[in-house]
Structure 1
Amino acid sequence: MEITLDKHSANQASVKIKLNEADYQPKVDAKLKDYAKKAVIKGFRPGKAPVSMVKRMYGTSVLVDEINNILSSSLNDYLKSQTFRILGDPLPVIEDADKINWETQKEFDFEYKIGFVEDVKVELGDQLEATSYSIDMDEKEVENTIENLRSQYGKMTNPETSEENDFLYGDLKAEDGSFEKTFSLPLSKVDGRSLKKFIGLKKGDVVELDPSKAIKEDLVSTVGVSEEEAAKLSGKFTFTVQNINRTELAELNQEFFDKLFGEGQVDSEEALKNKVREIMAENYNKELKVFSDEKLKDKLIASANIDLPEVFLKEWLLRANDGKVTAEQVEKEYPIYAKQLSWTIISNELASANEIQAEHEDVIEKTKEMIREQFASSGLGAQLEASMDMFVDNYLKGNEGQNYMQMLTSVQNDKVLAFVKEKANVKEEKITVDKFQDLLAN
């Protein structure tokens, strides 16, 4: 057997494997003898069929199987012995495989494309700058959230006369009769210059309007029409009121507090504000941590400047997902895949170089944390904790063990990022919700 490596570039190569008869024939003969001992062939007692007959019947399929086994193990062992890091899976050169004559050939040549990276270097230290954000809760945000909660738990009424923030249920018609639609119009989505037309209306009242100007939000979602129909909602229309819907805000009393947080958890308006502020800050800070971590990953990826074998990886993604994705989809999604792959390489490199290891106990704790978050609003705290071990066990065994491996990888990434932050120049910054939205937008 001969195995040779032919590097085409800094990250792509071909592995060529040459097999002669001595490499595979002993294994083929042994397998055929074993077949002969077990074969049930008409005209012969079980296990008494001549090996020559068994060879005629099964020789080619046994040859193919044994050569494939030899190729798989040999290629795997050879690649493991290399210093570079293999990406994806080796891709057999199909054109060469199609030319094989399994009946007559004694020597076989196989070729595989591979993609790899080597010399991955990740520099840590003060030159690596990062920002750890935390939220500075605005009282207006807290008040707005409480207002929304009161609206969600409020009572629906049907007043005689419309006011700002009501919902008007009625018929929108084009003057020329080309369009007619019955829907519920939120007055909060009506442009301020047109809003006064909709205040003080009663059932049966008719308003003239140009939907494209009067409705400030997306016409598609507001009116419930297609993009094509929305494009035609311009010009003279009328809206006839059939009904007025209003939500009366829930009272700030103990019944409302208990509905939100459970019996006795909050007992005053001040306690309500504090609880809402605490929950909002916790949720925003979780989002900010994810945002900060992603920015740190971006800097590490830029610093490492890993030269991925793009052409190879795109072909591998297409062939590995045969029939499930198109070349256009691979092209579109490749930047996201490349970023994730680069981070995986960096994380593994840092974990290996600094003896960072995800332990089984860490996986258990992270899974518990995930499950608690999923059930946070269910009110099943005590019952959940009593059955936590069962939930964790079921989840980690799910998806044929892939859930466990994904959680293990997640724990390693957490530990690697914590290690990086210890070495990097990290500054703390408190920001408002508006500033956070700006950061997300950029």
Structure 2
Amino acid sequence: MEITLDKHSANQASVKIKLNEADYQPKVDAKVKEYARKANIKGFRPGKAPVTMVKKLYGTSVLVDEINSILSTSLNDYLKAQTFKILGDPLPVIEDADKIDWNTQKEFDFEYKIGFVEDVKISVDKNTNATSYSVEMDKETINDAVQNLRSQYGKMTNPEESQEGDFIYGDIKAVDGDFEKTFSLPLSKVDGRSLKKFIGLKKGDIVEFDPSKAIKEDLAETVGVEESEVEKLSGKFTFVVQNINRTELAELNQEFFDKVFGPNQVESEEAFLEKVNSIMSENYNKEIKVYSDEKIKETLIANTKIDLPESFLKEWLFKANEGKVTQEQVDQEYPIYAKQLSWTIISNEIAQENEIKAEHADVVEKTKEMVREQFASSGLGAQLEDSMDMFVDNYLQGNEGQNYMQMMTSVQNEKVLTFVKENIDLTEEVLTIEKFKELLEN
């Protein structure tokens, strides 16, 4: 067997494998004899058919299987021994596949395209600057959250006259046209200039307005029509009031506290506000941690020279997902994939250089955290903890072991990021909720 590497560029190459008869024939003969011992061929007792007949019947398929097995093992072993890091999977060059004569040919030549990176140098020191963000809650955000909770647990009423914040149920009809529909209009979505038309209305009152101008948010969603019908909602319309719905805010009392957080979890308005603050702060800071970590990754990617084999990777992505994606979709999504791949290379390199490993205990603990988050609002509490080991085992064993590998990768990435934060020049910045939202939008 001969294996040669032909580098076309700094990140793409061809691997050529030449097989002669001595490489595969002993294995083929052994497999044919094994078939002969088990074969059940008409006219012969089981296992008594001549080897020559078995070879005639099954020899070609055995030859193909054994050569494919030899190729797979030899190629993998060869690539593992190289100093560069293989990306994707080797792509067989199949232009001459139809020319192979499996019945008479003794020597076989195969070729594979590969993509790789090498000499990746990563600097994790004080010369690398990044920012870690956290969020500080403000009274306005907390008050809005409390108002939403009071509204969510409030009582629905039907007042005689409308006011801001009400829902007006009625019939909308085009003055010039045949469009008409019954729906509930939330006054919170009506533009300020048009809102006064809808204040002080009673059952049976009629309002004339232009929905395309009066409704300030998603028009199709608000009226309850398909996007294709939105163009019909421009011009003069009448709205006939059938009913007025209003939510009376729940009182800040023990009954309300128990409904929100469970019996006797908080017992005063002050404790309730502290609990809301704590939960919202935790949720926002989880979200901003993800943002901070992504920015740190981007910094490392920008500071690390990684020459990805773009044309090879696009070809591999297309063939690996053949039938599921178009080449246009691969080209469109490639920048996202390239960013993820670059981080994977960097993370693995840092982990290897600094002996950072995801231990089994870490994987189990992270899975427990995930399960707790998924069941956080279920109120199962103690029952969940009693069955936690079962939940964790079922999840980690699922998806043919892929869940375990994904969780292990996640744990390693977290450890790598912790190591990075400890060793670079990291600036801590506290943001208001408003500033954080601006960051996400940009």
- Per the alignment, residue 106 of structure 1 pairs with 106
What SS does the aligned partner of 1:61 have? helix
**Partner secondary structure for residue 106 of structure 2:** coil
Q: Which position in structure 1 is the counterpart of 2:366?
A: 366
The residue type paired with residue 434 of structure 1 is: E
State the Cα distance separating 1:262 from its structure 2 match. 1.4
Name the structure 2 match of 1:396: 396
State whether residues 33 and 51 of structure 1, in contact with CA within 8 Å, keep that contact through their aligned partners in structure 2. Answer: yes
Task: Name the structure 2 match of 1:343.
Answer: 343
Counterpart of 1:87 in structure 2 is 87
Matches within 5 A, 1:111-260: 111-260=111-260
What is the rounded CA distance, in whole Å, between the counterparts of 1:249 and 1:192 in structure 2? 23
Q: Per-residue displacement from partner, 1:181-218 (whole Å, max 9, x unpaired)?
A: 11111000101001000001111111000111111111
Deviations 1:312-361 (CA, angstroms, capped at 9, x unpaired): 11111111122122222222221111111111111110000000011111
**Amino acid in the other structure paired with 1:283:** N
Q: CA deviation at 1:134?
A: 1.4
Q: Is the 8 A contact 1:18 1:109 kept in 2?
A: yes
CA distance in 2, matches of 1:365, 1:234: 56
Letter in 1 for 2:162: S
Is the partner of 1:14 in helix, strand or coil? Answer: strand
Partners of 1:231 and 1:307 in 2: how far apart?
49
Secondary structure of 1:232's match?
Answer: helix
Q: Secondary structure at the match of 1:182?
A: strand
- Identify unmatched segments of 5+ residues in structure 1: none
> Runs of 4 or more off by more than 4 Å in structure 1?
none
1:220–1:230 CA contact under 8 A, matched in 2: yes
1:285 is aligned to: 285
| Comparing 216-225 and 248-257, the one that deviates more | 216-225
- How does the TM-score come out when normalised to structure 2? 0.98
Identity %: 78
Contact 1:96 1:111 in 2 (8 A): no
Amino acid at match of 1:440: L
Which residue type is aligned with residue 298 of structure 2? D
Q: Does 1:55 align with 2:55?
A: yes
**What is the CA distance between 1:110 and its match in structure 2?**
0.7
User: In the aligned structure 1, how far is the partner of 2:248 from the partner of 2:376?
Assistant: 28
Identify the residue that residue 274 of structure 1 maps to in structure 2: 274
CA distances 1:366-411 after superposition (whole Å, capped 9, x unpaired):
1111111111122222111111111111111111111111111111
Alignment of 1:1-12 (within 5 A): 1-12=1-12
State the distance in 2 between where 1:204 and 1:170 align. Answer: 9
How many residues are treated as equivalent by the alignment? 442
Distance 1:121 1:392 in 2: 37
SS in 1 for 2:233: coil
Residue segments in structure 2 that go unaligned for 5+ positions in a row: none
What's the CA shift for 1:99?
2.2
Match of 2:73 in 1: 73
CA distance in 2, matches of 1:144, 1:73: 62
Give distance in 2, aligned partners of 1:225 and 1:44. Answer: 74
Q: Distance in 2 between matches of 1:194 and 1:186?
A: 13
- Aligned residues: CA RMSD: 1.1
Contact 1:13 1:113 in 2 (8 A): yes
CA contact (8 A) 1:96 1:110 kept: no
Following the alignment from structure 1 to structure 2, what is the Cα–Cα distance between the partners of residues 275 and 349? 42
Match of 1:307 in 2: 307
Distance (Å, rounded) in 2 between the aligned partners of 1:34 and 1:142: 75
Q: Return the offset for 1:50.
A: 1.4
Counterparts in 2 of 1:22-37, with a 5 A limit?
22-37=22-37
- Residue 410 (structure 1) aligns with: 410
Q: Secondary structure at the match of 2:232?
A: coil
